[in-house]
Amino acid sequence: MALPSVWSVMRVVIPLISVVGLLSVRLVGAGQDSGSVIPAESRPCVDCHAFEFMQRALQDLKKTAYNLDAR
């Protein structure tokens, strides 16, 4: 009895894994639809988060530069 080659096995396994992955993504997405949704007006946008992060980073850099100058 001859064993199947690696390539013939992979031709079957890769599509099977792809189908299972797509089905699981659909199931997870369907589960996230239910539940409470925060309205867009009450949550800050991504740009606002990035701006606040950059502001804090700039303040930290200024403090570090001042501390280095003070030494």
The 8-class DSSP code of residue 68 comes to H
The CA angle 43-48-51, to the nearest 5 degrees, is 155
Global pTM value: 0.36
Buried b / exposed e along 47-56 (16+ C-beta atoms within 10 A) = eeeeeeeeee
Reported as a single tens digit per residue, the pLDDT across 20-66 is 787 777 665 555 555 677 776 776 677 777 888 888 899 999 999 88
Reported as a single tens digit per residue, the pLDDT across 1-26 is 556 677 777 788 888 888 878 777 76
Identify the residue whose tokens are 């001042």: 66
Domain layout of the chain by residue ranges: 2-70
